[in-house]
Structure 1
Amino acid sequence: MDENDLLAEHFEADRTHLKAVAYRMLGSLSEAEDAVQEAWLKLNRSDVSEVRNLSGWLTTVVGRVCLDMLRSRSSRREDPLEYYVPDPVVRGTDGVRDPEEEALLTDSVGLALLVVLETLGPAERLAFVLHDMFAVSFDEIAPIVDRTPAATRQLASRARRRVQGAAPAPAPDVTRQREVVDAFMAASQGGDFDGLLAVLDPDVVLRADGGKLLAAASKLVRGAEAVVNQALTFARFRHAHRTVLVNGAPGIVSVVDGRPAALMAFTVVDDRIVEIQILADPERLAPLLPADLADGAALAGDDH
């Protein structure tokens, strides 16, 4: 096996880890794939004969690529960030998860956390993700963000305070989470406002992202009563739908006219729903679903 083959083998062994880094940095599965591919191209163009820790080198390369992508994105973003729901990792409830999903969801990277990460500046996000989630040293991160290690530590510290104050940690018992979500759905289907209030945290946040085609559906709603008053938002989930896991937490995919139409994901803390994320953009949702979930006929057959 020649040197190029060895590098390719090493890269493939690191691919899932690198995609996990990029997913946390970008909140987009397709962009994460692009960042990993760019890292592969940089590896092919670089002399790494003196690199002693190739995995660490690749991690910092992906970080640098993602930083550039974030800076470019922030300069051209047009959509209001408050409505944006990052790409979810969706799977069925059969308990089967492939190694890439395991890597993507290590450390319980829920949509609530990804939403908060979207509010960080590019350099803050990189410092926090690489150091706090992947144990990269500040000495290694500093050159990427063009700061001293001490200043880089401050970036991560500021990001950490924002994340800890804004990203609720979901309950560890997924079965109990599902029971709370089922109670929410039953109350919604029955028009039981008191039942809805019983499972909603008083400060619950609902974020709906309709994308460019359904911009009118985008909204940010705060408070249990305000969310209950948006009960019609849940109408599309009342009939044909399938229960799923969204970044490891309970979720629901709705079906309209035989096609996946929207995704609703929940964050449950202390038996109360504290966040609801709705991705109501069918075109964006479809490629994010596994093949069996993207099959509208199969979904339509799972009425609840």
Structure 2
Amino acid sequence: MSEPFEEHRRLLFAVAYRILGSAADAEDAVQDSWLKWSAADRSRVADPRAYLVRIVTNVAMDRLRSARARRESYVGPWLPEPVLTDAGSGAGSEEDAVRAESVSTGLLMLLESLSPLERAVFVLREAFAFSHAEIAAAVGRSEETVRQAASRAREHVRSNRPRFPVTASRHRAVTERFLAAAGGGDINTMLDLLAPDVTLWTDGGGKVRQALRPVRGAQPVAAWFAGIMRRPYEGVAPAEMTAEITGLSGAPGVVMRGGGRVLATLTLDLDDQGRIIAIHNVANPDKLGAVTAGLVRDLRLSAYESGLGVVDDGA
């Protein structure tokens, strides 16, 4: 493959994953982008990075439209596909927390309610610091249309997400305490960690046993974990299961293994006070391929790392 494409492959995957919420679909989008890139007249391409981002953004938007039609018939809640990242340990700064937030499971779920255009604009603007003019060129819309889409998306996210994400060290500490309490059936400790209006989302995709509707409220969620941790799951006894805290989708999370395979992943969404406001449990085997493969991805690209300057061209 050509050098410019390989140079920007990591960026292209990071963009596609945020738009699609699926590692497998993001890989396909990157491959489709390569086919379009290989067929292009590159002698007329002044900025390969911008050109490639434009290709992958539009490919991802098209794939998202098709994926949403399929998700309408999905069995139970649909959750983004988890990927291994490097945010499993370390104190981390507030800046790191903000960067990690851009790829968190909770945010990706929230972006599901945006239109494909709004989602692409939000990703390019907030995660990669594209200017409105650059985004307009990438998505083939006017700059004013892009500004309006960015404003709608940003307001939607701000009204539904914590204003100040917690650091990786605090996130890991809460994850460790919750995992220990759940494993020991300690409902009182779980209730101390859970926000009163916590929601548990479980994604089995109809392939494995999971709750088909969200479980809401601290008491029901604590009882659910206390019960499930005592029972065999998919032929694996509790004593044969292991739980590892590692980086998942930008934050510390849990990978459950047993019977020689990955059984599920668990990520916690924390509010401004560090209480657990949402739990995402992915157990659909079709969505565990990226974690099973063990490939650690750096999706928290800064503006510098993505090759883009932060351009303050107005909200």
Q: TM-score w.r.t. structure 1 length?
A: 0.80
Deviations, residues 254-283 of structure 1 (Å, cap 9, x unaligned): 233332211111123433212211011234
> In the alignment, which residue of structure 1 is the partner of 2:280?
277
> In the alignment, which residue of structure 2 is the partner of 1:155?
149
Correspondence 1:33-44 to 2 at 5 A: 33-44=27-38
CA distance in 1, matches of 2:30, 2:295: 26
1:138 and 2:141 are equivalent in the alignment = no
> Is the CA contact (8 Å cut-off) linking 1:127 and 1:152 kept in structure 2?
yes
> Is the CA contact (8 Å cut-off) linking 1:266 and 1:276 kept in structure 2?
yes
Correspondence 1:131-210 to 2 at 5 A: 131-142=125-136, 145=139, 147-168=141-162, 170-172=165-167, 174-210=168-204
1:268 and 2:281 are equivalent in the alignment = no
Change (3 A) 1:141 1:250: closer
Change (3 A) 1:34 1:233: same
Name structure 2 gaps, 5 residues minimum: 91-95, 297-315
> In the alignment, which residue of structure 2 is the partner of 1:60?
54
1:256 partner amino acid: G
1:171 partner amino acid: V
> Is the CA contact (8 Å cut-off) linking 1:83 and 1:209 kept in structure 2?
yes
CA distance in 2, matches of 1:244, 1:115: 21
Report the alpha carbon displacement of residue 146 of structure 1 after superposing the two structures with TM. 5.3
> In the alignment, which residue of structure 1 is the partner of 2:251?
249
- Structure with more relative contact order (C-alpha pairs < 8 Å, separation 6 or more): 2
Deviations, residues 160-214 of structure 1 (Å, cap 9, x unaligned): 1111222345411x33322222222332233332211101112222110001313
- State the SS of the aligned residue for 1:266: strand
The worse-fitting range, judged by mean Cα deviation, of 87-96 and 114-123 is: 87-96
Correspondence 1:71-150 to 2 at 5 A: 71-79=65-73, 83-90=77-84, 108-142=102-136, 145=139, 147-150=141-144
CA distance in 2, matches of 1:106, 1:60: 23
Q: TM-score w.r.t. structure 2 length?
A: 0.78
Deviations, residues 209-253 of structure 1 (Å, cap 9, x unaligned): 001313753331222123123232444696422222212322222
More helix by share: 1
Aligned CA RMSD, in angstroms, stands at 3.0
- State the SS of the aligned residue for 1:109: coil
- State the SS of the aligned residue for 1:289: helix
> In the alignment, which residue of structure 2 is the partner of 1:258?
260
1:272 partner amino acid: R
> Is the CA contact (8 Å cut-off) linking 2:269 and 2:277 kept in structure 1?
yes
CA distance in 1, matches of 2:279, 2:121: 28
> Is the CA contact (8 Å cut-off) linking 2:121 and 2:150 kept in structure 1?
yes
Number of equivalent positions: 279
CA distance in 2, matches of 1:292, 1:131: 27
CA distance in 2, matches of 1:119, 1:248: 21
Identity across the alignment (%) = 38
CA distance in 2, matches of 1:238, 1:171: 31
Name structure 1 gaps, 5 residues minimum: 97-101, 294-304
